Structure 1
Amino acid sequence: MSSDKPCQPKIPPPCQRKCNVQAEEAEEEDKKEEPVKCVEMWHPGFDARFSNQNQTRRCWANYIDYIRCTNKFGEDHEPCEYFKKAYQYLCPSVWYNAWDEQRENGTFPMPPWV
C-alpha cells in the first residue's frame, strides 16, 4: 500500500492544539474576547553530556561557554547568543546575576581553561 503523499501528523503541535481548544470553548460560550494567541518559547535542545540529570552542571557549562565565546570573539558575535539564551533558560536568574557581579568584582572562580 503506497501513497504519493508524505505522512502527515494527525495531531497538531501542542501550542496549536491548546489554541484550538480554547478557541472552541470561547465560541461555545459566545464570549466576545480577543482570540487566544500562542507564544512559541525557546529552549535549548538535548545535550548528551547532561542527559536526564540535574541541570545545574549544564547551566554552569553554558555560562562558562558564553564567557569563553565573548572573550574570544567579542560581545557582538551572534553565535555566542546561543550560550546566553541557554544559561538564562537553565539557570535561576539569582545565580547568573551573582556570577556577573563576581566577574565585575574580580572574585569569579574562573576555570583555568577559560
Structure 2
Amino acid sequence: MAEDIMTKIQNYKTVPFYNCFPNQNQTRNCWQDYLVFHRCDKTMTTKGGDISACKWYQCENKSLCPISRVSTWEDCWAEGTFPGKI
C-alpha cells in the first residue's frame, strides 16, 4: 500500500475534481485538506505508523491552498489560537 501511495505522490500534478466542492471557490476544500493532513499526521505519529499516507493530503494542500493562507494557519497553530479541531 505504501508503494502505491508513493507512486501516486510522485505522479501528482494537481488536485483531482472532488464533487463535494463543485464550485470554483476551493476555500472549503483547502481548509478540509489542511485539517485532514494534520489529523492524519497526528494520528500516525501517535500510533507510531508510517506517515507516508498523509503525504497525499499535503500534496493536495500545497497544490490547492494559497501559501499566505497556510502560513497564517501555521502561525495560529504555533500561537495556540488555531480555530480548527485537529
- TM class by shorter chain equals 0.7 to 0.9
Relative to 1, partners in 2 of residues 1:42 and 1:79: Cα closer, same or farther, differing over 3 Å?
A: same
Pick aligned residue for 2:17 from 46, 68, 80: 46
Corresponding position of 1:63: 34
Scaled by the length of structure 2, what TM-score is found? 0.74
Q: CA deviation at 1:79?
A: 1.1
Pick aligned residue for 1:84 from 58, 79, 85: 58
Q: CA deviation at 1:53?
A: 3.2
Corresponding position of 1:93: 67
Q: Gaps (5+ residues) in structure 2?
A: 1-10
Pick aligned residue for 1:109 from 76, 79, 83: 83
Q: Which has the larger radius of gyration?
A: 1
Query: Which residue type is aligned with residue 78 of structure 1?
Result: S
Name the % identity: 32
Of structures 1 and 2, the one scoring higher in RCO (CA 8 A, sep 6+) is: 2
Cα-to-partner distance string for 1:61-92 (whole Å, 9 max, x where unaligned):
10011111011012951010111111111111
Measure the CA separation in 2 of the matches of 1:45 and 1:78.
Answer: 19
Measure the CA separation in 2 of the matches of 1:83 and 1:56.
Answer: 15
Scaled by the length of structure 1, what TM-score is found? 0.57
Q: Which has the higher helix share?
A: 2
Q: Gaps (5+ residues) in structure 1?
A: 1-39
Q: CA RMSD in A?
A: 2.0
Q: How many residues align?
A: 73
